[in-house]
Structure 1
Amino acid sequence: MSRGRIGNRPTKSPVLQTTATRKAISARHSSHSPSSLQLAAESNKSANPVTHYRPPTSGLIASLPRSWIPYAELVRLDKPVGTYYLFFPCIFSTLLAAPMAPHATILQIVGTTGLFFTGALIMRGAGCAINDLWDRNLDPHVERTKFRPIARGALSPEQAILFTGTQLLAGLGVLLQFPTQCLWYGIPSLLLVTTYPLAKRFTNYPQIILGLTFSWGAIMGFPALGVDLLANPDALKSAAALYSSCVAWTVLYDMIYAHMDIKDDVAAGIKSIALRHEHNTKSILSGLAATQVALLAVAGVTAGAGPVFFVGSCGSAIITLGVMIWKVQLKNVQNCWWWFNNGCLFTGGGIALGLLLEYLAQAFGFHEKEESKLETSPTPR
């Protein structure tokens, strides 16, 4: 009798006890460990960008109506640095061409600069939309891009195409405000805008195509101020050198930018110069910086620039590019973004300021005064 009871509770047979124990362990284990169905659900959840997307709660985009937010995100309204990179070559060429222009006034230069900035803002947005349309099947696999409007399904490709067409028409409207010859120089750039996203699939150097695209403004400033490139050999040489310098600059800064996506690019099969030269990036950056400054100097020489340009524009480019290449941490995503974002203003702003001071020096006859002093100074006997 005593063996049949423990604390007045009936015992179970060993078989029943073993079965109950297994059920208890299984239940306890399932309560703490996810089932295969749960794991699959979590996997799908993490693969779907929509489940992780959070609308902006601060900044310019957050203040827009909710239905406008995907369109603002599509044109990167919250990341204006791309507009600055597109605008700087325009202002470089405008200021470099100004002393060569027959009747360029300060008011005309300011108006031309304003039109270029408006055009850069519109066309940069159109370029981003075209890029996202091409990359809509790649973006969901890259951490930095998986929340973009088309990738997460907030905008359909048809909506994006319609919006892009509207932007291109607006860009054409801006282009028509310039002299007629600008139209013939500006239209070919559209071909480059549409081909860059494709280059990422076929070559390790898509940044070169991006450079050819983003640097187009380095040509546009000359015809915008009435300088005929085909009739003025010096202006043509200067524009070609400035354009090539800006291409080198674009490849340089976008190589830093590409380092933010190296791991995801490998998985997604996206090609870039950062992947091709991952282990000697800083040597490549140094070579690009030297090329950029050398070509910038050639542009100044052929345009007849004075010492203010070489000290201000070329000197500031040497310093800012050198510091950036020395300081940037290519394995640190946040650090790469900081230098990409701020290096634009450091280098681009320095070059533009040097060009502005050079224009003012020539406009007010500073160089002529210096030359006259040298001519009238007594020669040693």
Structure 2
Amino acid sequence: MRGAGCTVNDLWDRNLDPHVARTRLRPIARGAISIQQAIPFLGAQLFAGLAVLLQFPTACFFYATPSLLLVTLYPLAKRVTNYPQFVLGLTFSWGAFVGFPALGIDLLTNTPALIAAACLYGSCIAWTLIYDMIYAYQDIKDDAKAGIKSIALAQQANAKAFLAAVSAVQVSLLVGAGASLGVGPIYYFLTCGGAAATLEHTIREVNLESVKDCAAWFRRGAWITGGAISFGLFMEYMVQYLDLFGDQGKHSKAVES
């Protein structure tokens, strides 16, 4: 589905991409692949995604299907809003909802799980705003010339303050997700604390005036922040699974039931 989103994006942007240095050599933009070739390829990607989705419980199909609308609409956002990255976040973060029915948890009847899913979804949206704003700074000069709307252009005057504020929102929502499920200190220290520390490091070190540096920190930031969050979640899972803190896992197990 990530690939399908890229294909949809390249189809919509085939007349914009040639005006941006970073995207001018994309296959459709440079004419290496025609629209007639790209659409069947998109169909194959979507069917491959469907094949994976059907391996999960049936409820996941109904939770996941609405995301197709967002996949289709995201590329249009840059034509009507300075914050297309927000729409990208809505799209990329949808798995925060799908993970719960995959575990047999009905979000519509389980309030703690619904709160956790909503907080996780919001946190992932905030994270998308952060890393994709850094990514967008690669194209800021070309976007201005081509008339492409961008969060980088909208927040150019106070970029790092904006990134710091959104980072605070991301970490706060991670805390909210954990609190709704009654997780233990491992989660708060490793996942929330790790996210806060790596985001601060990224924002402090990235040079938004350098295309090369923005590209490097886009990749590096995804790995270090994503790694901290994932490692914290894994360690919290192991603590719960092994019941290392005695009664710690009771609330989470109650949520699952």
- The answer on 1:237 being equivalent to 2:132 is no
Query: Superposed, which structure 2 residues align to 1:157-306 within 5 Å?
Result: 157-306=35-184
- Please give the alpha-carbon distance, in whole angstroms, between the structure 2 residues aligned to 1:254 and 1:367: 38
Shift of the alpha carbon at 1:203?
A: 0.7
Task: Map Cα deviations across residues 335-375 of structure 1 (whole Å, 9 max, x no partner).
Answer: 0011100111100111111011111101111121689xxxx
Indicate how the Cα distance of structure 1 residues 236 and 331 shifts in structure 2: closer, same or farther if over 3 A, else same: same
Q: Indicate the residue corresponding to 1:19 in structure 2.
A: none
Alpha-carbon distance in 1 for matches of 2:165, 2:208: 17
Task: Read off the aligned partner of 1:249 and give its amino acid letter.
Answer: W
Q: Deviations over 1:165-194 (max 9, x none)?
A: 110011011100000000000000000001
Equivalence for 2:254: none
8 Å Cα contact 2:84-2:151 kept in structure 1: yes
Residue in 2 that maps onto 1:125: 3
C-alpha spacing 1:286/1:170, structure 2 compared with 1 (3 Å): same
Residue 124 of structure 1 and its aligned partner are, at CA, apart by: 0.8
Partner of 2:26: 148
Letter in 1 for 2:78: K
Map 1:1-381 onto structure 2 (within 5 A).
123-368=1-246
Per the alignment, residue 255 of structure 2 pairs with none
Query: Unpaired segments of 5 or more residues in structure 2?
Result: 250-257
Q: Are the counterparts in 1 of residues 93 and 124 from structure 2 also a CA contact under 8 Å?
A: yes
- Tell me, yes or no, if the aligned pair for 2:127 and 2:167 is still in contact at 8 Å: yes
- Aligned equivalents of 2:101, 2:248: Cα separation in 1: 30
AA of the residue aligned to 2:29: A
Any idea what the Cα deviations from partners look like across 1:304-329, whole Å, max 9, x if unmatched?
A: 11000000100100110000000000
TM-score by length of 2: 0.95
SS in 1 for 2:25: coil
Distance, in Å, in 2 between the alignment partners of 1:355 and 1:205 is: 30
Counterpart-to-counterpart distance in 2, 1:263 and 1:345: 27
Q: Distance in 2 between matches of 1:362 and 1:370?
A: 7
CA contact (8 A) 2:240 2:248 kept: no
**Where in structure 1 are there 5+ consecutive unaligned residues?**
1-122, 372-381
Cα deviation per residue 1:32-69 (whole Å; 9 max; x = unaligned)? xxxxxxxxxxxxxxxxxxxxxxxxxxxxxxxxxxxxxx
Cα-Cα RMSD: 1.1
Matched positions, count: 249
1:195-238: CA deviation from partner (whole Å, max 9, x where unpaired): 01101011111111000001111111111111111111100000
| One-letter amino acid of the counterpart of residue 204, structure 1 | N
Q: What does residue 64 of structure 1 align with?
A: none
Mapped contact 2:83–2:151 kept (Cα < 8 A): yes
From the superposition, tell whether residues 370 and 234 of structure 1 become closer, same or farther in structure 2 (CA, over 3 Å).
closer
Letter in 1 for 2:200: G
Mark the CA change 1:322 to 1:167 in structure 2 (over 3 Å): closer, same or farther. same
Q: Is the 8 A contact 2:18 2:29 kept in 1?
A: yes
Q: Give the AA of the match of 2:136.
A: A
Q: Distance in 2 between matches of 1:277 and 1:186?
A: 32
2:149, 2:65 → 1: CA distance?
A: 28
Q: Secondary structure at the match of 1:152?
A: coil
CA distance in structure 1 between the aligned counterparts of 2:81 and 2:183, rounded to whole angstroms? 38
Answer yes or no: is the 8 Å Cα contact 2:9–2:75 preserved in 1: yes
Structure index of larger Rg = 1
